[in-house]
Amino acid sequence: MPSKPVGTEVVDLNSLAKQRRDALPEPTTYNLFDVTFTLPPIKALPFELQERVGDLDNTVGVLKDILGADKVKEMYAAGFTFGDLELIAQEWQKRSGVEPGESQASAAS
């Protein structure tokens, strides 16, 4: 019986990827200290952003990419603290269906 050559099967993931994307929760709008902002589900972020989401050294950069520099300036003006950012991150994870501490980058490894 001839063996099947390795690596010849192609698995088309397009329909599965679409199903997963369609099943994501809607973006959530938050309000903190009269600053209103909307965050998409974490798993809907472009791959290049997901790599940076868990990087505490780049929290502001990620927020600027998602919300825009003007909204981040509004957060500064409202007096947001690191603790407030932690609260935002926790709620964002929860409403995105991501377990606290779950690394998005590790899903690819």
78 lies in which domain range?
14-108
> Coil, helix or strand for 17?
helix
Residue 55 lies in a domain: yes
Q: How many domains does the chain have?
A: 1
Residue 19 lies in a domain: yes
Residue 77 lies in a domain: yes
Residue 3 lies in a domain: no
pTM of the model: 0.76
CA distance 78 to 66: 18
Q: Calculate Rg over the CA atoms of the chain.
A: 18
Would you tell me how many other CB atoms lie within 10 Å of the CB of residue 98? 17
pLDDT in tens, the chain (109 residues): 666 667 788 899 999 999 999 999 999 999 999 999 999 999 999 988 877 776 666 788 889 999 999 999 999 999 999 999 989 989 998 999 887 665 544 444 3
